[in-house]
């Protein structure tokens, strides 16, 4: 385990990001800085634009305006202001790893092969190297005993822990989580949040969309609140949860507590 990174390097920088669907602006002039080693949680009501923001960061959605830099490199648009060639785009996208609500494991591959598939075929790792790394990652997420199991034999919490290991296997600089526990039975939420907490202690840079308030409070360096596509608050968790500056957030927190 390495020390939590306290450097001031910027991992993700988002400037003036806007995105519309069918004429409706779902992200409005979003500015966000994420430092290396930081955990940023994104909160907000359904439809506020949380997933769209994450999906813009790895170019699953293309923003209409604004810029996103990951590790200092702009995604999607090259220096000449043109759309990036596919290969260059793939390289920048690989700086991020995404974990979805719905796991998306490959059903025909066992746990180990779910994790080694992309490192072998995309990163060009040898089978032995990819498997050794996969086993380390399975250890990290507490899934070593299930290396040979197939996804349909796993609980939701176990599937999600494998999905996290699979994303980590690509050695991304930034992990993106879109409501990683919201498809889970309540008793399985804790095991997945514990893994994400461990990763934060190891210094991984993470952006996590979540509805888990206690988790957000415990793990975040910064909490961001989206309301109808606008960031209306960004604060350290203590300030956010005990002394929010907007009525909107106060109402949201009251509702979450009840
Ligand atoms: N591909 C799309 N085409 C059209 N509209 C979309 C698309 N993706 C998202 N939207 C709309 O954009 C808005 C923001 O959606 P988004 O999924 O980002 O919200 P969210 O905050 O993630 O919500 P939830 O908490 O329900 O996941 C919503 O009104 C949604 O209907
Ligand atoms: Mg969403």
162: nearest Cα among 184, 141, 193: 141
Nearest-CA residue for ligand 1 atom 8 is 52
Kindly state the percentage of the chain with pLDDT values over 70: 97
User: What is 141-173 written as a DSSP string?
Assistant: TT-GGGTT--GGGS-HHHHHHHHHHHHHTT--S
Rounded CA-CA distance 226/54 in Å is 12
pLDDT higher than 90, residue 8:
no
Report CA(54)–ligand 1 centroid distance (Å): 11
Name the residue at shortest CA distance from atom 28 of ligand 1.
47
Average pLDDT, rounded, for the chain: 95
189 lines ligand 1 (CB under 6 A): no
Q: Say yes or no to pLDDT of 124 above 70.
A: yes
Decide: 210 in ligand 1 pocket, CB within 6 A: no
When pLDDT is cut at 50, 70 and 90, the band that residue 1 belongs to is: very low
Element (H, E) at 8: none
Residue 139, by phi and psi: left (phi above 0), alpha (psi -120 to 50) or beta? Answer: alpha
Residue 229 CA: nearest ligand 1 atom is 14
Give the model's confidence band at 2: pLDDT under 50 very low, under 70 low, under 90 confident, else very high.
very low
Q: What's the mean pLDDT in 54-70?
A: 96
Residue 125 and residue 203 in contact, taking contact as beta carbons nearer than 8 Å: no
Confidence of residue 86 (pLDDT cuts 50, 70, 90): very high
pLDDT for the residue 258: 66
* Residue 7 in this model has a pLDDT that exceeds 80: no
Nearest CA to ligand 1 atom 26: 46
């Amino acid at each position: 385990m390495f020390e939590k990174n306290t450097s001031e390097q910027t991992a993700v920088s988002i400037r003036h990001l806007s995105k519309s669907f069918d004429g409706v602006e779902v992200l409005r002039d979003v500015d966000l800085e994420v430092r290396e080693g930081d955990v940023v949680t994104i909160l907000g009501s359904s439809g506020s634009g949380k997933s769209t923001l994450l999906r813009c960061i790895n170019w699953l959605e293309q923003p209409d305006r604004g810029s996103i830099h990951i590790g200092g490199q702009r995604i999607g648009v090259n220096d000449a202001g043109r759309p990036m060639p596919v290969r260059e785009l793939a390289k920048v996208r690989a700086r991020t790893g995404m974990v979805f609500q719905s796991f998306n494991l490959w059903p025909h591959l066992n746990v180990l092969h779910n994790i080694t598939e992309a490192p072998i075929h995309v990163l060009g790792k040898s089978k032995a190297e990819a498997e050794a790394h996969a086993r380390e990652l399975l250890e990290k997420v507490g899934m070593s005993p299930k290396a040979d199991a197939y996804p349909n034999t796993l609980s939701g919490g176990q599937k999600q822990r494998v999905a996290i290991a699979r994303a980590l296997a690509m050695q991304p600089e930034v992990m993106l989580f879109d409501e990683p526990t919201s498809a889970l039975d309540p008793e399985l939420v804790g095991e997945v949040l514990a893994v994400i907490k461990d990763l934060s202690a190891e210094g991984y840079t993470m952006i996590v969309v979540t509805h888990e308030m206690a988790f957000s409070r415990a793990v975040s360096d910064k909490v961001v609140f989206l309301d109808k596509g606008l960031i209306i608050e960004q604060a350290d968790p203590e300030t956010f949860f005990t002394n929010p500056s907007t009525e909107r957030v106060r109402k949201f927190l009251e509702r979450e507590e009840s």
